[in-house]
């Protein structure tokens, strides 16, 4: 059993099911007072990483920001992070695994959970993001193309997850994202379910789940650990194939509807990717 994630028999069972059904699943963890996740430690981390690892903006955004452009706060980075209690900003420190201490922390969190959700040995591309957000700030309605466990470290936040009206509706947005579209959605979360996260709570959010995050009344620190899996990579290939077919005037079926067709599409795209890579190497 992992020391950092509290996975009892029931949560192990639930996570295995979540991996199959694509339903979000709440978990609990022991990262609340971790030395690497204090505001001071995270401000030090942020200034030590390349500038493109940090993204920040003003915290008060509407529920929908379809073009993905949000205004930023004009402050020095360390000052902005240490002032988060009062300055109203939202900040994400991306790819914290660039620092070996944080990489080890991600490993401790994910060694167990990845295999449960994605199948033993089928997960890869582990990445960590720390979200620092001022009281009341919000992350608008969006989807992400990877598996994600969000662990609430300090303060509270509400994760609102949604349900797609149909597999086709999910596939349309996933295809748009895989084709280079922005992760933000042009609509609010549909059939919303609220997950109220206290420090010590977490939630597994499956790929392409529509969700938004609303911060509680205090500074919030959360660690989001993401990974990919072979099944997910195959699904992305099917989505790319569908996009080609659509441009050719056809109406392809959503991934998961016809496994035989999915395999053929994934194989074709895989061959095209290999051919492209070979041409590039020459
Ligand atoms: Fe997200």
How high is the pLDDT of residue 196?
A: 97
- Report the separation in Å between the CA atom of 212 and the middle of ligand 1, taken as the mean of its atom positions: 7
Long-range contacts of the stretch 111-115 (C-beta < 8 A, 24+): 111/2, 112/1, 112/2, 112/5, 112/7, 113/2, 113/5, 113/7, 113/15, 113/27, 113/149, 113/204, 114/147, 114/227, 114/229
Q: How far is the CA of 84 from the centre of ligand 1 (A)?
A: 20
Q: Which of 146, 140, 132 is nearest to 70 (CA)?
A: 140
Place of tokens 């470290």: 153
Please state, in angstroms and rounded to a whole number, the distance separating the CA atoms of residues 234 and 255: 9
Flag whether pLDDT at 22 surpasses 60: yes
- The domain locations on the chain are 5-229, 233-281
Strand ranges (E), the chain:
5-6, 25-29, 54-58, 89-93, 123-133, 138-142, 147-154, 157-161, 193-197, 201-205, 211-215, 220-229
Give the Å distance between the CA of 278 and the centre of ligand 1: 34
How many Å lie between the centroid of ligand 1 and the Cα of residue 211? Answer: 7
What confidence score (pLDDT) does residue 206 get? 93
Q: How many helices (H) and strands (E) does the chain have?
A: 8, 12
Considering the chain, what percentage of its residues have pLDDT values greater than 90? 47
Instruction: Report the C-alpha gap between 200 and 222 in whole angstroms.
Output: 10
Angle at 221 between CA 74 and CA 73, to 5 degrees: 10
- Whole-number pLDDT of residue 74: 59
pLDDT tens for residues 54-68?
988 765 555 565 555
- Measured distance CA(74)–CA(34) in Å, rounded: 30
**41 CA to middle of ligand 1, Å?**
23
Give the Å distance between the CA of 194 and the centre of ligand 1.
14
Q: Ligand 1 centroid vs 143 CA: distance in angstroms? A: 6
Q: How far apart are the first and last CA of the chain?
A: 47
Distance in Å, CA 127 to ligand 1 centroid: 13
pTM: 0.84
Q: Is the pLDDT of residue 52 over 70?
A: yes
Q: How far apart are CA 173 and CA 143, in angstroms?
A: 8
Residue 88 in contact with residue 60, Cβ under 8 Å?
yes
Q: Would the pLDDT of 75 be above 70?
A: no
What homologous superfamily is domain 5-229 in, according to CATH? Cupin (2.60.120.650)
Interatomic CA distance for residues 251 and 246, integer angstroms = 6
pLDDT in tens, 157-201: 999 999 999 989 999 999 999 999 999 999 999 999 999 999 999
């Amino acid at each position: 059993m992992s020391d950092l994630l509290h996975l009892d028999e029931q949560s192990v069972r639930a996570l295995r099911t979540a991996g199959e059904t694509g339903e979000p699943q709440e978990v609990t963890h022991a990262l609340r007072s971790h030395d690497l996740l204090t505001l001071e430690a995270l401000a030090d981390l942020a200034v030590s990483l390349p500038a493109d690892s940090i993204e920040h903006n003003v915290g008060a955004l509407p529920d929908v920001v379809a073009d993905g452009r949000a205004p930023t706060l004009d402050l020095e980075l360390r000052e902005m992070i240490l002032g988060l209690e009062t300055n109203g900003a939202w900040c994400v420190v991306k790819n914290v695994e660039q620092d070996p201490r944080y990489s080890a922390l991600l490993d401790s969190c994910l060694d167990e959970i990845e295999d449960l959700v994605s199948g033993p040995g089928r997960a890869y591309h582990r990445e960590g993001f720390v979200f620092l957000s001022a009281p009341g700030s919000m992350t608008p309605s969006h989807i992400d193309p990877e598996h994600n466990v969000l662990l609430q470290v300090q303060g509270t936040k509400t994760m609102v997850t949604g349900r797609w009206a149909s597999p086709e509706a999910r596939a349309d947005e996933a295809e748009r994202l895989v084709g280079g579209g922005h992760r933000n959605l042009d609509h609010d979360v549909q059939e919303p379910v609220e997950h109220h996260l206290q420090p010590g709570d977490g939630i597994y959010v499956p790929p392409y789940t529509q969700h938004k995050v609303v911060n509680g009344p205090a500074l919030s620190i959360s660690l989001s650990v993401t990974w990919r899996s072979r099944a997910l990579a195959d699904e992305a290939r099917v989505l790319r194939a569908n996009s080609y077919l659509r441009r050719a005037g056809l109406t392809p079926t959503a991934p998961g509807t016809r496994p035989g067709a999915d395999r053929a599409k994934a194989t074709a795209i895989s061959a095209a990717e290999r051919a492209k890579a070979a041409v590039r190497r020459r």
